[in-house]
């Protein structure tokens, strides 16, 4: 049995543009009356050990992308997708930072558990359609080995672009995950 | 540890028609040159991480979030400009309404100037206009808000490029796979067809899907003109098994 074509076409995407902050992070533009507080600001709600996920976004010339907005969606430590949503604007150095929880494992389409991961979505001036990627964790090597998505990346060298590097300082666990829109270490982006 | 079962790929979303959307790189829109991935996007299929998404309730809305004419008013007076109601229905590709979903919008003022620290256009700021709002769709997928018509504005791209009047839209839908940012244009505006950003969409019919129609039936006499702007999000394939993925 075949799927029929749907009757409507999806509305085409357009860039979020350079002024995306007015709509998505208005406090940064001193708009304190509407759309407040900023959606997805502050610690991401969810059950599990608190972690920091942080990094920088770079363009094809290795220049920081200082006007991007990054959104986060993930499962909690039990593998449940509750409402763990975050949104941050990059700063002048292209840096973003989420205070969130370490996710657990979620069932994948191959019937096995996927490795713990976060979903990120990146929009900015010059990005015509939001870019989807995933953050995996360096200290989950065993789970990463069998992960359905990581194993679909045929060029094994590119898998490491999705692995966040762990460091521990001041009692906090920080996972560093840089995003390269283009270039030699271009991050793997997904057509989901 | 409790693990939610996952029923497999059935009932996922139709594949995105990448020929209908703008390509990642469009040379006439110069900012895409260094920001477009060069590798092909990796086809992922959809897992629970893509088939779920955040939900937002009316408790997040401020009373004037859907009234850009008043929601930044400093002295009690209205924003300057041609007064509009913008409304529309959010549907999926199967023509089913998308209820209870958050829509965010932002725009320039009537002179084409944004309230943004990196804005470089000399047009005047309107002290009573902030330029953002949001709404949650009703049971039939409808949203509406009150605003002023944004002005066209110049931007540094080619030597003399101007954006047509437009409103930026962000929509969540019910799954992260449906997440969409787009722009609304105005019926009859000749500037749409010289705009490198609108024309980054290859198909003219697809551009026309982003053009709001003047709606005389919903104007308010002596107050607001109305424009209707419908938005289509990705729709789910039907499944052919009795044990459907929940929510399909
Ligand atoms: Fe704009």
**Nearest CB to B1; choose among A26, A79, A152:** A79
In this structure, the strands spanning A131-137 and A163-169 are parallel
State the CB neighbour count (10 A cutoff) for residue A62: 12
Which residues does chain A have within 8 Å of residue B130's beta carbon, measured at their own beta carbons?
Answer: 22, 26, 31, 33-34
- Does the residue A3 lie in any domain? no
* Tens-place pLDDT, residues B8-29: 444 799 999 999 999 999 999 9
If you ran DSSP here, which 8-state letter would residue A191 be given? E
- Which residue in B15, B34, B68 is closest to A61 by CB distance? B34
- Residue where the block lists tokens 């030597």: B159
pTM: 0.95
- Judge whether A173 is closer than 8 Å to chain B, CB to CB: no
For B216, the 3-state DSSP assignment is helix
Q: Which of B245, B102, B65, B66 is nearest to B178 (CA)?
A: B102
Tell me how far the alpha carbon of residue A49 lies from the centroid of ligand 1, in angstroms. 40
Share of chain B above pLDDT 90, in %: 90
What tens digit of pLDDT does each residue of B94-143 get? 999 999 999 999 999 999 999 999 999 999 999 999 999 999 999 999 99
Positions of B annotated as catalytic residues are: 114, 153, 163, 166, 168
Q: What is the pLDDT of residue B11?
A: 74
Give the pairing type, strands B161-163 and B102-106: unpaired
Shortest alpha-carbon distance between residue A135 and chain B (Å): 12
Structural contact between residues A188 and A119, judged by C-beta atoms closer than 8 angstroms? no
- Count of CB atoms situated within 10 Å of the CB of A123: 23
DSSP 3-state helix, strand, coil percentages of chain B (rounded to 5)? 10, 25, 60
Strand partners, B14: none
N- to C-terminal Cα separation, chain B: 26
Q: Where are the domains of chain B?
A: 58-232
DSSP-based three-state secondary structure for B31: helix
In a domain? residue A190: no
Closest partner CB to A186 (pick from B1, B37, B232): B37
Are B26 and A128 a contacting pair, CB within 8 Å?
yes
Q: Which of A2, A5, A12, A124 to mutate to test the interface with B (most CBs of B within 10 A)?
A: A12
The candidate with the shortest Cα–Cα distance to A105, out of A71, A80, A134, A142, is A80
Q: CA of A34, closest CA in chain B: separation in Å?
A: 5
A54 CB-near residues (< 8 Å, 6+ apart): A95, A96, A97, A98, A174, A175, A176, A177
Do B150 and B166 touch, CB atoms closer than 8 A? yes
Domain that holds residue A77: 14-180
d(CA A87, CA B15): 26
| Residue A94 in domain | yes
Residue B3 has pLDDT above 60, yes or no: no
CATH number of the domain that A108 lies in?
A: 2.60.130.10
pLDDT on residue A111: 86
CB B26 within 8 A of CB B158: no
Which pLDDT score, from 0 to 100, does residue A3 have?
Answer: 65
Partners of residue A64 on adjacent β-strands: A58
Q: How far apart are CA A122 and CA A42, in angstroms?
A: 18
Q: Name the region of A168 (left: φ>0; alpha: ψ -120 to 50; beta: rest).
A: beta
Residue B30 confidence (pLDDT) above 70: yes
Structure tokens at B124: 């005047």
Q: Who surrounds ion ligand 1 at CB < 5 A?
A: A 17
Residue A189 falls inside a structural domain:
no
**Using CA atoms in the order A64, B30, B197, B116, what is the torsion angle rounded to 10 degrees?**
40
Contact flag A130-B179 (C-beta cutoff 8 Å) = yes
CA–centroid distance, residue B151 to ligand 1 (Å): 10
Tokens representing A51? 């972690």
CATH architecture of the region B58-232: Sandwich (2.60)
β-strands A172-176, A163-169: how paired? antiparallel
> Can you tell me the ipTM of this complex?
0.96
With respect to residue A149, please indicate whether it lies within any of the assigned structural domains. yes
CA distance B49 to B124: 44
Query: Predicted confidence band at B243 (pLDDT cuts at 50, 70, 90)?
Result: very low
pLDDT tens digits along B42-85: 998 899 999 999 999 999 999 999 999 999 999 999 999 999 99
Whether residue A129 lies inside any domain: the answer is: yes
Instruction: Let me know: does A29 contact A111? Beta carbons within 8 Å.
Output: no
Distance CA B201, CA B81 (A): 29
What rounded mean pLDDT belongs to chain B?
A: 93
Burial degree of B203 (CB within 10 A; 0-12, 13-18, 19+): middle
> Which residue ranges of chain A lie beneath pLDDT 50?
none
Given a contact cutoff of 8 angstroms between Cβ atoms, the answer to whether A123 and A16 are in contact is yes
Q: Look at the block and give the residue holding tokens 């509009």.
A: B84
Q: Is A127 helix (H, G, I), strand (E, B) or coil?
A: coil
Establish if A28 belongs to a structural domain: yes
Q: Tell me the nearest-neighbour CA distance from B34 into chain A, angstroms.
A: 5
Half-sphere exposure of B175 toward its Cβ, with a 13 Å CA cutoff?
Answer: 22
Whether A86 is covered by a domain: the verdict is yes
């Amino acid at each position: 049995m075949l799927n029929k074509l749907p009757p409507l076409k999806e509305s085409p995407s357009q860039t979020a543009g350079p002024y995306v902050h007015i709509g998505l992070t208005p406090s940064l533009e001193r708009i304190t009356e509407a759309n407040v507080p900023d959606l997805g600001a502050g610690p991401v709600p969810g059950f599990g050990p608190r972690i920091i996920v942080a990094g920088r976004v770079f363009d094809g010339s290795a220049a920081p992308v200082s006007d991007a907005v990054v959104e986060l969606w993930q499962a909690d430590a039990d593998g449940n997708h509750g409402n763990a949503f975050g949104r941050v604007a990059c700063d002048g150095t292209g840096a973003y930072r989420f205070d969130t929880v370490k996710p657990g494992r979620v069932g994948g389409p191959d019937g096995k558990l996927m490795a713990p991961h976060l979903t990120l979505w990146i929009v900015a001036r010059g990005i015509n359609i939001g870019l989807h990627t995933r953050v995996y964790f360096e200290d989950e090597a065993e789970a990463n080995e069998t992960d359905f998505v990581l194993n679909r990346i045929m060029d094994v060298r590119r898998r490491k672009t999705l692995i966040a590097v762990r460091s521990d300082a001041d009692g906090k666990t920080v996972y560093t995950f840089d995003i390269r829109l283009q270039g030699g270490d271009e991050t793997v982006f997904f057509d989901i | 540890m409790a693990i939610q079962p996952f029923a497999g790929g059935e009932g996922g979303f139709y594949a995105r028609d990448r020929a209908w959307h703008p390509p990642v790189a469009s040379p006439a829109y110069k900012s895409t040159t260094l920001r477009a991935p060069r590798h092909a996007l990796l086809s992922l299929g959809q897992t629970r991480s893509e088939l779920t998404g955040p939900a937002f309730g009316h408790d997040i809305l401020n009373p004037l979030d859907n009234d850009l004419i008043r929601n930044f008013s400093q002295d009690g007076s209205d924003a300057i400009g041609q007064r509009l109601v913008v409304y529309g229905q959010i549907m999926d590709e199967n023509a089913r309404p998308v209820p209870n979903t958050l829509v965010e919008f932002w725009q320039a003022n009537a002179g084409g100037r944004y309230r943004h620290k990196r804005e470089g256009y000399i047009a005047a700021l309107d002290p009573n206009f902030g330029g953002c709002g949001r709404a949650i769709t009703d049971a039939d997928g409808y949203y509406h808000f009150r605003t002023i018509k944004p002005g066209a504005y110049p931007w540094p791209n080619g030597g003399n490029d101007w954006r047509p009047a437009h409103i930026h839209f962000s929509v969540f839908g019910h799954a992260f796979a449906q997440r969409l940012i787009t722009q609304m244009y105005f019926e009859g505006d000749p500037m749409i067809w010289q705009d490198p950003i609108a024309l980054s969409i290859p198909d003219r019919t697809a551009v026309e899907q982003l053009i709001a129609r003047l709606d005389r039936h919903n104007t308010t006499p002596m107050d607001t003109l109305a424009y209707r702007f419908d938005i289509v999000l990705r729709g789910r394939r039907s499944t052919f098994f009795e044990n459907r993925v929940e929510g399909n």
